[in-house]
Structure 1
Amino acid sequence: MWVFYLISLPLTTGMVLMTLRYFAGPHVPRYVLFTVGYTWFCSLSIIILVPADIWDTMSSHHTNRGISFFWSWSYWSTFLLTWAVVPLIQGFEDAGDFTVSERLKTSVHVNLLFYLIVGSIGLFGLILLIMMHKTWKGGLLGFAMACSNTFGLVTGAFLLGFGLSEIPKTIWINADWTTRQKVLSHKIAKMAVKLDDAHQELSNAIVVAQATSKQMSKRDPLWLYMNVIDEMIAQMFREDPSFKPQGGQLGENDMDYDTDQKSMAALRRHLRSASEEYQRYKSEYVTYVLEALELEDTIQNYERRNSTGWEYNSSIRPARTGKLGSLLDTLEFFWRCILRKQVAKCLAVILGTMSVAILFAEATLLPSVDLSLFSILIKSVGGQEVFVQPSDVRGIFRPTDADSSISYIPFVSTLMQPLPMCILLKLL
């Protein structure tokens, strides 16, 4: 069991860290990074807990208290993070107020309003259920658990289905250079329009903030807040000197900011939101453009392979020098121009085969005959721990022991398919 933990724990932690590094913005606070990382780790802990739980069920035929504790830790941590901690932090970071207490107050107010609406809908549904079933005697806690499980299963069915179809199909399509060029051309054109709109929105926000600053007297009690906004704009220009505001397209409500604390908070929030949106679209646009240039280099290197001596020449980075430069160029040529496409197609076929096997296993739950390929593989290895746990990481297992802390996991394999692929997709 310890061997599996030594493999699964670093793998799960590495997946979380790689995802954080890929998606995190440049100025995200550390407590936000820690909260998001911990949330993702709790969600991905199923990779560790499911095989351990099933192995415990198969070997000892009784529920291990340690496994039960970790299941409870994962569930309640995810529950609290989903419904309390993460929304509170999200509202706190989204607020434009100038003090911690005011930002926290705004976050609590927004979340309470949301939960009031959701709670009213739930209460209406509960009243309707009682009216339709006058003899209903079910407990409120049981009803809440049933609603929670139903929501989780339905949401999982829609979201995790992405791993069954889109990932194999996307990998297969992207393996073809011509098709990928067309897709990138479409994405670049689409992203260019979004980037232009985001640039205009940020320009308008900056013009409005500068106009408001000019109209405000330095003796104004709110000048301290306006000074924070001015420093925020100056920081934007220092980080991106190439950005040039383009005003002149302001709407009727763009200058509708009064000189009070609430309006200053709204202005700061609008400015920060526009800046983040612009930076996000700019990053995506640059990524697509660099990928398109790299793909064009790959096609040209393949077509001119005889004249270049089967060495990869890039137009977007300096040429390699030194004793190993020629060798590295040759290895890069074989990877980018020959092996990469074949590896992608093989990976797409493997994932597609797994998707078909998963769908077939879930579609044949009712028959008494076990037709699940993954269940057959797990049972065929018998009591060999080394083979049971890796087989179950992607599998569907139907434990027969009533003492197992899990009864059936219909979406485990659907979840497991895309997660380990993040490392491979990063390489491809």
Structure 2
Amino acid sequence: MWVFYLISLPLTLGMVIVTLKYFAGPWVPRYVFLTVGYTWFCSLSIIILVPADIWTTTSHLSETGVISFFWSWSYWSTFLLTWAVVPLIQGFEDAGDFTVKERLKTSIHVNLVFYLVVGSIGLFGLILLIAMHKIWHGGVLGFAMACSNTFGLVTGAFLLGFGLSEIPKSIWRNADWTTRQKVLSHQISKMAVKLDDAHQELSNAIVVAQATSKQMSKRDPLRPYMNIIDNMLTQMFREDPSFKPQGGRLGENDMDYDTDEKSMATLRRHLRRAREEYYRYKSQYMTYVMKALELEDTVKNYERRSSTGWKYVSTLRHPRSGKLGSILDTLEFIWRCILRKHLQKVLAIVLGIMSAAILLAEATLLPSVDLSLFSMLIKLVGREEVLVQAFAFVPLMYMCVCTYYSLFKFGTLMFYSLTPRQTSSVNLLLICSMVARYAPPISFNFLNLIRLGGNVKTVFEKRMGRIDDAVPFFGKDFNRIYPLIMVVYTILVASNFFNRVIDFLGSWKRFRFQSEVDDMDGFDPSGVIILQKERSWLEQGRMVGEHVVPLARNFNSIDLESGSSNSTDLLDVKAKATNSLINEDMNGKSSKSSGDEVGSMVLAEKP
């Protein structure tokens, strides 16, 4: 148990704090920070408890009381947080009302729909149990836990399957520099247009707020609320003096916000969400640009390795000096230009093997023979505490990463986003709720893959029941059959079956899940020229993203989300926009040299 107390818990706590500080936006209040941190810590505690529980069970130790306490604390904390506390705080943070009481009312009203859906699912499960003549002995809490586990196990199986296929493939693709450059050119182009749209939306919101403030008299009963919005605008411009509203305009109903307190709350909420969206897209855009510039430096350093003496020369930082600087440049060259891409391919192969091992274990739950690689390894090391916990922790953590990778991937398209240093309170709370929701089912699933022999039960299984008890609605056979469905689904995802079906149907392309594969077919001309402009501005001492908004508007009329980048018509339109930008003067100097380089790349990709 010393591994759990001295290594696992401190590392988990430190990882939660560092991760949360990295992603949390500047406007996240402290109570949200603490709530999200505690929820993440409880969720990860469930994950790190599994190896300790397996070690305690296989070694027949008497420390089960401590493990039992941690299980109860972690499980019920995450259960209450994800289904009750976090949704209430999330609604409170999303509300635009001006008092705590009104924000709570709004949150409760919004969450009534959520609780109604959850209650309907529970009622459906209860009716299903009665209809199937099942006898339930678990009580209300046991029934609620069973409903939660059913949701997590069934949906989590498909999330896990998608991640098991996509993570190794994505790492393998990104190891190729040319492929990565193509993907980044598309990502930069798309994000620049999204940033321009977000800038326009924020400019509109600012214009509406300022116009509403001007037409409202000082004696208006709503003036105190307007003053709060005015202070919000003042603080916004103080924190980011570089932001310049452009093209803001009033809509048909934009002057109707001064009718009552609720309309003022709507204006405040709209302004806050527009601000968060703008800075989120700006952060993502800057991340893509910096990655692309670093990749360009890596490619150039590798091509010029003979002339540079195998030293890494970066255009994004000041050159190092002295003997130590020369050594560091050589080490950086070896890492960036040689080792990293090969290690990425090795990692992709290792993760691919691990994915195959997990799928084999899931697919062979029905036979009595134990074909689980992880079960064999745990039995092989016997009473070696570190090895037992390591062989249990590594595959379990990989299953978590696969599940959460899919969760964030799908969620980014529909519900939320996790952006470095710009994730809002609402997004953080929604993400932490989803993380907590899937931690226990992942543990259930992994324990199902580990066959300890005989009737041996871990502490978790004793307190929470085996997986057969966790999902009682469809009988014991279903609990061993549904992993087979996940295996089949994973194979279909890996073979690109669903995208092929959608492409065959043609009219269903709007439902296609956009992935990096769609951005590998050629460079995006607008992304290339935007990247070259950013490099030119950096050389002049400017900041990344400082002038991207007017630049992106040259491409904003182009549909970047649909069709292939190799389409002749699309390339013709983009080439015209690109050529017009190449011929522009910048600060009185022609950017011809940059334009020639970009123009050659565009023509090389044009069919």
Normalised by the size of structure 1, how large is the TM-score?
0.89
Match of 1:423 in 2: none
Matched ranges for 1:29-428 at <5 A: 29-60=29-60, 64-120=64-120, 122-123=122-123, 126-127=126-127, 130=130, 132-133=131-132, 138=136, 141=140, 143-395=143-395, 396-400=449-453, 401-407=455-461
Tell me, in whole angstroms, the C-alpha distance in 2 between the residues paired with 1:328 and 1:367: 55
Q: CA shift at 1:116, angstroms?
A: 2.5
Q: CA shift at 1:248, angstroms?
A: 5.0
Superposed CA deviations along residues 238-288 of structure 1, whole A, max 9, x for unmatched, are 222222212355433333313321111110010000000000000000100
Contact 2:311/2:330, CA 8 A, preserved across alignment:
yes
Q: CA shift at 1:11, angstroms?
A: 2.4
Superposed CA deviations along residues 289-315 of structure 1, whole A, max 9, x for unmatched, are 011011001100110111112111111
Match of 2:17 in 1: 17
Q: CA shift at 1:62, angstroms?
A: 7.0
Decide whether aligned partners of structure 1 residues 144 and 79 sit closer, same or farther in structure 2, where only a CA change above 3 A counts.
closer
Q: Determine helix, strand or coil for the equivalent of 1:353.
A: helix
Decide whether aligned partners of structure 1 residues 239 and 354 sit closer, same or farther in structure 2, where only a CA change above 3 A counts.
same
Q: Determine helix, strand or coil for the equivalent of 1:324.
A: helix
Tell me, in whole angstroms, the C-alpha distance in 2 between the residues paired with 1:12 and 1:121: 33
Residue type matched to 2:452 in 1?
P
Decide whether aligned partners of structure 1 residues 124 and 167 sit closer, same or farther in structure 2, where only a CA change above 3 A counts.
closer
Q: Determine helix, strand or coil for the equivalent of 1:306.
A: helix
Contact 1:165/1:355, CA 8 A, preserved across alignment:
yes
Decide whether aligned partners of structure 1 residues 32 and 233 sit closer, same or farther in structure 2, where only a CA change above 3 A counts.
same
Tell me, in whole angstroms, the C-alpha distance in 2 between the residues paired with 1:155 and 1:375: 24
Superposed CA deviations along residues 362-399 of structure 1, whole A, max 9, x for unmatched, are 11112111111111111111222222111111354223
Tell me, in whole angstroms, the C-alpha distance in 1 between the residues paired with 2:85 and 2:268: 24
Contact 1:63/1:404, CA 8 A, preserved across alignment:
no
Q: Percent identity?
A: 77
RCO comparison, higher one (Cα < 8 Å, 6+): 2
Decide whether aligned partners of structure 1 residues 290 and 88 sit closer, same or farther in structure 2, where only a CA change above 3 A counts.
same
Q: Determine helix, strand or coil for the equivalent of 1:96.
A: coil
Tell me, in whole angstroms, the C-alpha distance in 2 between the residues paired with 1:290 and 1:115: 43
Q: CA shift at 1:162, angstroms?
A: 4.4
Tell me, in whole angstroms, the C-alpha distance in 1 between the residues paired with 2:182 and 2:340: 19
Q: Determine helix, strand or coil for the equivalent of 1:318.
A: coil
Decide whether aligned partners of structure 1 residues 203 and 169 sit closer, same or farther in structure 2, where only a CA change above 3 A counts.
same
Tell me, in whole angstroms, the C-alpha distance in 2 between the residues paired with 1:120 and 1:57: 38
Decide whether aligned partners of structure 1 residues 104 and 44 sit closer, same or farther in structure 2, where only a CA change above 3 A counts.
same
Decide whether aligned partners of structure 1 residues 355 and 136 sit closer, same or farther in structure 2, where only a CA change above 3 A counts.
closer
Contact 1:53/1:405, CA 8 A, preserved across alignment:
yes
Q: CA shift at 1:197, angstroms?
A: 1.1
Residue type matched to 2:274 in 1?
A
Tell me, in whole angstroms, the C-alpha distance in 1 between the residues paired with 2:135 and 2:47: 38
Q: CA shift at 1:346, angstroms?
A: 1.2
Superposed CA deviations along residues 195-253 of structure 1, whole A, max 9, x for unmatched, are 11111111111110000000000121221111111111111112222222123554333
State which drifts further: 1-10 or 83-92: 1-10
Q: Determine helix, strand or coil for the equivalent of 2:245.
A: coil
Decide whether aligned partners of structure 1 residues 358 and 23 sit closer, same or farther in structure 2, where only a CA change above 3 A counts.
same
State which drifts further: 396-405 or 38-47: 396-405
Decide whether aligned partners of structure 1 residues 248 and 163 sit closer, same or farther in structure 2, where only a CA change above 3 A counts.
closer
Contact 2:125/2:147, CA 8 A, preserved across alignment:
no
Decide whether aligned partners of structure 1 residues 103 and 322 sit closer, same or farther in structure 2, where only a CA change above 3 A counts.
farther
State which drifts further: 56-65 or 312-321: 56-65
CA RMSD of aligned residues (A): 2.3
Tell me, in whole angstroms, the C-alpha distance in 2 between the residues paired with 1:261 and 1:38: 34
Contact 1:206/1:271, CA 8 A, preserved across alignment:
yes
Tell me, in whole angstroms, the C-alpha distance in 2 between the residues paired with 1:118 and 1:283: 35
Q: CA shift at 1:120, angstroms?
A: 3.9
Contact 1:95/1:106, CA 8 A, preserved across alignment:
yes
Contact 2:204/2:249, CA 8 A, preserved across alignment:
yes
Contact 1:63/1:403, CA 8 A, preserved across alignment:
no
State which drifts further: 55-64 or 352-361: 55-64
Residue type matched to 1:366 in 2?
L
Tell me, in whole angstroms, the C-alpha distance in 2 between the residues paired with 1:121 and 1:47: 27
Contact 2:375/2:452, CA 8 A, preserved across alignment:
no
Uncovered stretches (5+) of structure 2, i.e. residues with no partner: 396-448, 468-479, 487-607
State which drifts further: 166-175 or 400-409: 400-409
Decide whether aligned partners of structure 1 residues 248 and 240 sit closer, same or farther in structure 2, where only a CA change above 3 A counts.
closer
Tell me, in whole angstroms, the C-alpha distance in 2 between the residues paired with 1:349 and 1:161: 17
State which drifts further: 319-328 or 95-104: 319-328
State which drifts further: 19-28 or 399-408: 399-408
Superposed CA deviations along residues 317-351 of structure 1, whole A, max 9, x for unmatched, are 22223442222111111111111111111111111
Tell me, in whole angstroms, the C-alpha distance in 1 between the residues paired with 2:108 and 2:334: 56
Contact 2:129/2:135, CA 8 A, preserved across alignment:
no
Residue type matched to 2:53 in 1?
D
Q: Determine helix, strand or coil for the equivalent of 1:160.
A: helix
Contact 1:62/1:404, CA 8 A, preserved across alignment:
no
Contact 1:173/1:180, CA 8 A, preserved across alignment:
yes
Decide whether aligned partners of structure 1 residues 147 and 29 sit closer, same or farther in structure 2, where only a CA change above 3 A counts.
same
Match of 1:7 in 2: 7
